C-alpha cells in the first residue's frame, strides 16, 4: 500500500533559487523532448521509447548550449522523461489526452528518487543543496522520523506556496471502520450538491460564485498593469491567491462531505456522470466545474477502499429520475426543469432528486443479486452530453 504525505515547505532564499533552477531545467527538458518526439513521429511515423529519450537528453547536455543542465540534479530530469513516457502510454491507451508543453506560469514541480535525497531523523536533504529543507508536519499521530519515503516531489504553486509530497510504501493492511449497517444512494446536482436517499440534501456552497466579484476585480487590476513590470507580478500573485482560496475551500468541503459519508455508511451508490461532456453546456459549465464531481468521486473511491467500505457506480444511462422508486412506473420523458412530478400510475407526488437517489440505491443493491453491469466501462463517451434523463431505457435494467 502506498501512502502520500503532503506538507508545506519553507525554503531559504538560496534553496528557493536552486529549486527554481531545477524547475526551469525540468520544464526545458520536458518541452524540448516533447517537441523532438512530436517532430520525429510526424516525420518518420515511429514512436519514441524511454531509452531513446534518455540518449537524447545525454546528447542535449553535451551539445554545448545546455551546460546549465549540469548545475541541477540529473534525477528530476530523468523523472520528467519517465513521466512523459507514462503520459504517452496513457494517451495511446485512451486514458488521457495528448501531453502538452509546460508553462512557467503554472504549477512547477520536480521529483526526486532515493538517489537524489536523504531522509534522516525526519529531515529532508535534497541533492546539490546545502542544509535540510524546512517543512511543517501536519500528522500528530505519525512520527516523521519513522517513515521511509521512496520518492519526494517538491512543487511551487502560482501563489508562491511551496509543498513537498512524500511517497511511503507500507505493508500494513487498510484500516477498517466498524460496520454501521447503513446504505445510501447519492444523486449529484447543481442546485444541491448531493441529495441522499435518506432525504437529506447537501447544499452546494458555490465557492467560485461567492468569490467571483473579487476575482474579477483582481483580474481587471492585473490587466491594467504593464506586462513584465513588478506591479503586474504583484497583481498576478493576488489573482493566484484568490484562486487558491477558492480551491482550498472546495477541497475542504469535498473532504469533509466524503469522509462523513464513508464513516456513516457501509455501502455507497453513486451514478457515473459524464462531467467532461456536461461542461460543454456553456450556461452550466462554470457551475458544474465548481462542484468538483470528479474529485468527489475520486475521494469516495480511495476512502471506501481504505476503510473497508463498498462503493457501487451505477451506469450513467440508468433512468434514475424518470422511474418512480415505489411502484416502478417509468416516464417516457422528463425535462431538466421539472423538480417535482406526480406518478401517473399511483398518483404519488415526490421530489425528483430524492426519488433519483432512492433509485440509485436500489440499483446498487440489485447489482450483487442480478450481476448487472454497472461499471462505467459499459457506457459510451461519444453519446450526448445531456444527463441520462433524455436517454431511452436500456434492456437488462433491474425492475424496482
The single residue of 157, 271, 272, 295 carrying the catalytic annotation is 271
Q: How many C-alpha atoms does 355 have within 13 Å on its Cβ side? A: 25
The single residue of 121, 157, 187, 301 carrying the catalytic annotation is 187
271 is catalytic: yes
CA torsion through residues 86, 92, 93, 98, sign: positive
Q: What is the DSSP string of 306-367?
A: HTT-EEEEE-TTS-TTTB-TTT--B-S---TT--EEE-TTT--EEEHHHHHHHHHHHHHHHH
Residue reference for cell 418512480: 324
Model confidence at 171, in pLDDT bands (50, 70, 90)? Answer: confident
Is residue 370 over pLDDT 70? no
CA torsion through residues 44, 47, 49, 50, sign: positive
Q: Once rounded to an integer, what is the mean pLDDT over residues 156-164? A: 94
Bridge partner residues of 55 (DSSP): none
The single residue of 272, 290, 315, 353 carrying the catalytic annotation is 353
Residue reference for cell 406526480: 342
396 dihedral zone (left: phi>0; alpha: psi -120 to 50; beta): left
Q: Once rounded to an integer, what is the mean pLDDT over residues 143-147? A: 90
Three-point CA angle 77, 80, 81, nearest 5°? 95
Give tens-digit pLDDT for 8-57.
999 999 999 999 999 999 999 999 999 999 999 999 888 899 999 999 99
| pTM exceeds 0.85 for this model | no
Closest by CA position to 272, among listed 180, 197, 373: 373
134 is catalytic: no
CA torsion through residues 190, 196, 201, 206, sign: negative
pLDDT at 277: 79
> 3 or 9: which carries more pLDDT confidence?
9
Task: Looking at mean pLDDT, say which of 168-182, 184-198, 323-337 comes out highest.
Answer: 184-198
The CATH number of the structural domain formed by 183-208+243-390 is 3.30.420
pLDDT at 351: 73
Give tens-digit pLDDT for 95-130.
899 999 999 988 999 999 999 999 999 999 999 998
Is residue 392 over pLDDT 90? no
Beta carbons of 314 and 272 less than 8 angstroms apart: yes
DSSP 271: E
- Give the chain's mean pLDDT: 84
Is residue 376 over pLDDT 90? no
Q: How many C-alpha atoms does 371 have within 13 Å on its Cβ side? A: 0
pLDDT at 273: 83
Strands (DSSP E) found in the chain: 2-9, 108-113, 117-120, 123-126, 135-136, 149-156, 162-169, 183-188, 192-196, 201-203, 267-271, 310-314, 340-342, 349-351
- Among 21-25, 209-213, 240-244, 281-285, name the one with the lowest average pLDDT: 281-285
**Based on the number of CB atoms within 10 Å of its own CB, is 160 exposed (0-12), middle (13-18) or buried (19 or more)?**
exposed
Taking the domains of the chain in order of start, what are their residue ranges? 2-169, 183-208+243-390
Beta carbons of 164 and 154 less than 8 angstroms apart: yes
Backbone angles phi, psi at 190, to 5 degrees: -105, -50
389 is catalytic: no
> 396 or 55: which carries more pLDDT confidence?
55
Please count the other Cβ atoms lying within 10 Å of the Cβ belonging to residue 216. 11
Model confidence at 358, in pLDDT bands (50, 70, 90)? Answer: confident
Model confidence at 334, in pLDDT bands (50, 70, 90)? Answer: low
Residue reference for cell 417509468: 330
CA dist 133 → 36, 115, 156, 209, 250 (Å) = 35, 17, 14, 38, 29
Beta carbons of 47 and 91 less than 8 angstroms apart: no
Model confidence at 372, in pLDDT bands (50, 70, 90)? Answer: very low
189 dihedral zone (left: phi>0; alpha: psi -120 to 50; beta): beta
Q: What distance in Å separates the CA atoms of residue 237 and residue 234, rounded to the nearest whole number?
A: 5
Q: Once rounded to an integer, what is the mean pLDDT over residues 201-213? A: 90
Amino acid at each position: 500500500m502506498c501512502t502520500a504525505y503532503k506538507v508545506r515547505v519553507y525554503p531559504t532564499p538560496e534553496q528557493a533559487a536552486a529549486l527554481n533552477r531545477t524547475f526551469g531545467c525540468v520544464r526545458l527538458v520536458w518541452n524540448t523532448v516533447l517537441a523532438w518526439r512530436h517532430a520525429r513521429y510526424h516525420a518518420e511515423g515511429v514512436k519514441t521509447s524511454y531509452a531513446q529519450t534518455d540518449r537524447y537528453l545525454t546528447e542535449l547536455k553535451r551539445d554545448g548550449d545546455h551546460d546549465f543542465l549540469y548545475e541541477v540534479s540529473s534525477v528530476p530530469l530523468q523523472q520528467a522523461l519517465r513521466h512523459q513516457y507514462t503520459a504517452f502510454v496513457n494517451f495511446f491507451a485512451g486514458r488521457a489526452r495528448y501531453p502538452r508543453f509546460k508553462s512557467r506560469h503554472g504549477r512547477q514541480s520536480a521529483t526526486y528518487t532515493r538517489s537524489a535525497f536523504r531522509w534522516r531523523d525526519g529531515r529532508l536533504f535534497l541533492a546539490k543543496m546545502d542544509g535540510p529543507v524546512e517543512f511543517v508536519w501536519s500528522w500528530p499521530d505519525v512520527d516523521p522520523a519513522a517513515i521511509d519515503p521512496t520518492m519526494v516531489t517538491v512543487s511551487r504553486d502560482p501563489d508562491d506556496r511551496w509543498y513537498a509530497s512524500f511517497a511511503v510504501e507500507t505493508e500494513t493492511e487498510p484500516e477498517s471502520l466498524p460496520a454501521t449497517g447503513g446504505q445510501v444512494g447519492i444523486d449529484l446536482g447543481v442546485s444541491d450538491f448531493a441529495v441522499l436517499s435518506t432525504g437529506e440534501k447537501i447544499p452546494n456552497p458555490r465557492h467560485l460564485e461567492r468569490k467571483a466579484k473579487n476575482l474579477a476585480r483582481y483580474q481587471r487590476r492585473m490587466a491594467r498593469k504593464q506586462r513584465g513590470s513588478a506591479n503586474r507580478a504583484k497583481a498576478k500573485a493576488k489573482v493566484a491567491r484568490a484562486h487558491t482560496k477558492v480551491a482550498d475551500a472546495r477541497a475542504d468541503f469535498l473532504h469533509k462531505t466524503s469522509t462523513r459519508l464513508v464513516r456513516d455508511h457501509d455501502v455507497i451508490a453513486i451514478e457515473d456522470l459524464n462531467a467532461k461532456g456536461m461542461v460543454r453546456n456553456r450556461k452550466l459549465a462554470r457551475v458544474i466545474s465548481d462542484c468538483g464531481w470528479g474529485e468527489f468521486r475520486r475521494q469516495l473511491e480511495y476512502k471506501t477502499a481504505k476503510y473497508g467500505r463498498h462503493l457501487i457506480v451505477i451506469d450513467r444511462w440508468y433512468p434514475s429520475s424518470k422511474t418512480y422508486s415505489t411502484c416502478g412506473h417509468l416516464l417516457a420523458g422528463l425535462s431538466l426543469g421539472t423538480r417535482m412530478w406526480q406518478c401517473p400510475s399511483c398518483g404519488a407526488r415526490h421530489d425528483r432528486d430524492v426519488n433519483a437517489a432512492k433509485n440509485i440505491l436500489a440499483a446498487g443493491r440489485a447489482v450483487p443479486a442480478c450481476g448487472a453491469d454497472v461499471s462505467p466501462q459499459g457506457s459510451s463517451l461519444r453519446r450526448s452530453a445531456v444527463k441520462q434523463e433524455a436517454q431511452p431505457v436500456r434492456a437488462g435494467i433491474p425492475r424496482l
